[in-house]
Amino acid sequence: MATRRAEADAVLLGVGMVGAMVGRELTRAGLKVVGLERGEPQFTVPDFQGPHMHDELRYSVRKALMQDTAKETFTFRHAANETALPIRRLASFLPGTGLGGSLVHWNGQTYRFQDSDFRLRTHTTERYGKNFIPADVTIQDWGVTAAELEPYFDRFEYLMGTSGKAGNIKGRKIAGGNPFEDPRSREYPTPPQKEPYGSAMFRKAASSLGYHPFPQPSCNLSQPYTNPEGQELKTCTFCGFCERYGCEHFAKSTAQTTLLPALLSDPNFELRTGCQVVKINVDNTQKTATGVTYIGANGEEIEQPAKLVIVGMFALNNVRMLLLSKIGQPYDPASGSGVVGRNYAYQTTSSVQVFYDESVNINPFMRSGANGTLIADFVSDNFDHGPLAFIGGAYIGEVMTHGRPIEFHPTPPGTPSWGSAWKKAVLQHYNHTTVLNIHGSSTAIRQNYLDLDPTYKDAWGQPLLRMTFDFPDNDIKMSAYLTDKALEIGKAMGGQQVVGSPRKGPYNITQYQTTHNTGGTVMGTDPSTSVVNRYLQSWDVPNVFVIGASNYPQNASYNPTGTLGALAYWAADAIVTKYLKSPGPLMHI
C-alpha cells in the first residue's frame, strides 16, 4: 500500500526550468506546492565547480548529467511495420536529469519563434494555397500568436538576462539586430557577447552576399546582471565547456542561477528529489486528477494528493506520463485519430565545414554555447517557398560552441578514419577549421508518432516510450536547398576547402544531432487535433497542465527553449489569473 502524504495545492512533475518557473508563480500566488524531481539536487556550488567540470570524457562522452539509460530509456524504429529496439545508450538526443533539468547542460541559444510559425497551416495556405501542403503533412496552428506571447517572451528574457541585439522594437527596425523578428517591446537585457573569429568571417561573407547577419541571442551573459528575482549572474568567460556541462561561473542562465534560490527559500515550496512519478491519478469520473503516485529513492511507493498537477518534464517524458496515466486518447497512425503521441517532430540539422590553411588560427576552444553570428534570411517563411515545393526553413550561422577534441577533430572528405594519414589530417586541421550550422525546422507528418512500447520496460516495470520517426521528404528537400545556401556563404569565407553535408535519411539514433524533440502533447484550439488547449490545460482532465516542447505542433527553425520559456509564463499566468479564480476548463468548444 502506498503511503499517503498530505494534499498539496499543486504538485510539479519535474523540477527543471519549467517546474521552477511555474512553481515560483504558484507559490507567489499563495499555493502550497510540492516539487517532485526524479534526479538529484545539484547546484553551482559545490556541484559544477572547476576544474573537474572541464572533463570532456565524463560529461560529453559518458554523459554524466543525462538521464540514466540503465534505468529509463526509449525505443526507436523508423516505421510502424518495424520492431522498435531500445536506445541502449543515449546519442542522438540528450535529456538531462536532476534538479534544473536539461537547462543545466544547455548551450543558452535563446530565440523567439515567429508569428508565421505559430500560424503555420493558416499562413502557408494563405500565401501558397491549399494544395501546397502534402496530404500526409499534419502541420497546424498553435492557437496563440507572437503578439499574444510577446510580454511572456519579454519576461522570460529578463528573467534570464539574455544577451542580444534587438532588430525590431515596437515596429521600428534597429540596425545590427535580426530584421526578421516580430516586434519586441524593448531591447535585450544585456548586449551581445563578443564575436569570435569564425563568426566575424561569417558576418563579412554573409553581408557580401546581401544577407542580414546578427549576433546569436545568448544565455551566456555578456556582463553581470541582476534579474527581477534578485539573482545575480556573472560574465561568461568563453571557457568552451558549455553544452553538456554545468557552468561554474554563474554565467549561464539556468534554474539554478535565475530562480531556484528564491523558490527553495519560499516556505510554500517543498522540493523532493529521487522521486520517480509512475502515474497521475484520476478519480472515477476520469475528469479530475487527484494527485500522483511516485516511487521514492528507497523504493517506497507514495501517493501525493494535489488539487493541481503540473507536468513539466522533458518533452518525451511528458508524452509518456500522459500515456501511462491514460489521460487523453492515444494517437493511432492507421486511422489518424487520437492525439497523445501525435505530431512528434525533431530538428533537421546539417553542417558546412570550412577548412582554412594553417595561417588562420580559429581557436575553436575560445567559445561559449551561444556566441555565434547567424542569418535569418532563410528562417521559416522569410523567403519565397512557392517555386521550392517545401515548407519550413533554417537559420544558417557560424555558431560553433567548443573545440573539445574527442568530439571535434574535423578532417576533409577522403581522409581515412585511422592511421598515419588520419593523424596528420587531424593535426593539420584542428585549429584551422570552422563549421556552419544549418538549423532547420521539422515538419509533422502522419507516420511519425510516439506511443508505449509493447515489450521493453524501465527499472520500475513500466513500458518505455516508443518513437516511430524518420525524416519527412519535405525536410530532406529543405535541408538540401539550405545546405547549398550555406555552402555559398562558406565559399565566400575564403577557406581552402568547403564541404557541405545536407541531412539525409534514414534517421540515425547513434549520432548526436540535437535534443530538440517536440510534439506529442500538442497545444491548440481543437480537441480532435490537440492534447492541451491554448493555455496548455488538458482538454480531458482540466486540473492537469502539460508544459514542454511536447506542446509544439511541429518544430520551427530556431532552437526551442526561448519559446518554451514564454509558454511556461503564459500558462502560469492563465493558471493564476483565470484558473485559480474559477477552477475548470479555460476553453469551451
Partner 1 sequence: MDTISRRSFLKAAGAAAAGLATACDRASRPVTASRTQYSWLNVDEAGFIEPAIARLVPADESGPGALEANVAVYIDLQLAGAWGAGERLYRSGPWQQGKPTQGYQLPFTPAELFRNSMRAITDDVRKTNQVSFAKLTAADQDAYLKALEGGGKDLGGVPSNIFFQSLLEMTIEGFFSDPAYGGNKDMAAWKQIGFPGAYANYYDLVDKHGIEFRRPPMSLAQDASGTIHIHVEPPAQSAAKGR
Question: Which sequence positions are flagged as catalytic?
Answer: 516
Burial class, 130, CB count within 10 angstroms (exposed 0-12 / middle 13-18 / buried 19+): exposed
Q: Which candidate, 138, 89, 16, places its Cα nearest to that of 564?
A: 16
> Which region, left, alpha or beta, applies to residue 581 given φ > 0 means left and ψ of -120 to 50 means alpha?
alpha
Show the cell assigned to 426. 587531424
Residues 35, 221: contact at Cβ < 8 Å? no
**Cα-based distances in Å from 318 to 277, 532, 544, 549, 560:** 11, 12, 12, 9, 16
- In angstroms, the CA 344 to CA 224 distance is 38
Size of the site for partner 1 (CB under 8 A): 78
Closest approach, Cβ 448 to partner 1, in A, equals 15
How do the residues of the chain divide into helix, strand and coil, expressed in percent and rounded to 5? 25, 20, 55
Out of 5, 409, 477, 491, name the contact with partner 1 by CB under 8 A: 409
Closest approach, Cβ 451 to partner 1, in A, equals 17
Which stretch, 289-297, 316-324, 451-459, 555-563, contacts partner 1 (CB under 8 A)? 451-459
Q: Under the criterion CB under 8 A, does residue 456 sit at the interface with partner 1?
A: yes
Closest approach, Cβ 160 to partner 1, in A, equals 20
Q: Under the criterion CB under 8 A, does residue 298 sit at the interface with partner 1?
A: no
Binding mask 203-242 for partner 1 (x = CB under 8 A): --------------------------------xxxxxxx-
Q: Under the criterion CB under 8 A, does residue 244 sit at the interface with partner 1?
A: no
Residues 571, 530: contact at Cβ < 8 Å? no
Binding mask 509-528 for partner 1 (x = CB under 8 A): xx------------------
Query: Which is nearer to partner 1, 50 or 129 (by Cβ)?
Result: 50
Q: Under the criterion CB under 8 A, does residue 46 sit at the interface with partner 1?
A: yes
Out of 29, 85, 169, 480, name the contact with partner 1 by CB under 8 A: 85
Residues 281, 327: contact at Cβ < 8 Å? no
Q: Under the criterion CB under 8 A, does residue 77 sit at the interface with partner 1?
A: yes
Q: Under the criterion CB under 8 A, does residue 420 sit at the interface with partner 1?
A: yes
Question: Which 546-585 residues touch partner 1, going by CB under 8 A?
Answer: none
Q: Under the criterion CB under 8 A, does residue 361 sit at the interface with partner 1?
A: yes
Out of 128, 132, 422, 460, name the contact with partner 1 by CB under 8 A: 422
Place of cell 508505449: 452
Q: Which candidate, 260, 258, 259, places its Cα nearest to that of 271?
A: 260
Q: Under the criterion CB under 8 A, does residue 256 sit at the interface with partner 1?
A: no
Q: Which candidate, 151, 163, 262, 185, places its Cα nearest to that of 569?
A: 151
- In angstroms, the CA 517 to CA 507 distance is 13
Out of 185, 427, 484, 584, name the contact with partner 1 by CB under 8 A: 427
Query: Which is nearer to partner 1, 125 or 431 (by Cβ)?
Result: 431
Binding mask 160-199 for partner 1 (x = CB under 8 A): ----------------------------------xxxx--
Which residues lie across from 500 on neighbouring strands?
A: 352
- What are phi and psi for residue 483, nearest 5 degrees? -65, -35
Return the ∠ at Cα 555 (arms to 588 and 409), rounded to 5°.
155
Closest approach, Cβ 506 to partner 1, in A, equals 5
Out of 27, 44, 73, 434, name the contact with partner 1 by CB under 8 A: 73
Q: Under the criterion CB under 8 A, does residue 80 sit at the interface with partner 1?
A: no
Question: Which 385-404 residues touch partner 1, going by CB under 8 A?
Answer: 403-404
Query: Which is nearer to partner 1, 255 or 379 (by Cβ)?
Result: 255
Residues 379, 486: contact at Cβ < 8 Å? no
Q: Is 568 helix (H, G, I), strand (E, B) or coil?
A: helix
Q: Under the criterion CB under 8 A, does residue 534 sit at the interface with partner 1?
A: no
Q: Under the criterion CB under 8 A, does residue 127 sit at the interface with partner 1?
A: no
Query: Which is nearer to partner 1, 467 or 564 (by Cβ)?
Result: 467
Query: Which is nearer to partner 1, 135 or 406 (by Cβ)?
Result: 406
Show the cell assigned to 513. 544531432
Closest approach, Cβ 77 to partner 1, in A, equals 7
Out of 5, 28, 80, 91, name the contact with partner 1 by CB under 8 A: 91
- In angstroms, the CA 143 to CA 153 distance is 16
Helices (H), 247-364: 255-258, 260-264, 315-325
Prior bond of 46 cis (ω within 30°): yes
Which stretch, 303-311, 334-342, 418-426, 472-480, contacts partner 1 (CB under 8 A)? 418-426
Out of 507, 535, 552, 558, name the contact with partner 1 by CB under 8 A: 507
- In angstroms, the CA 47 to CA 70 distance is 23
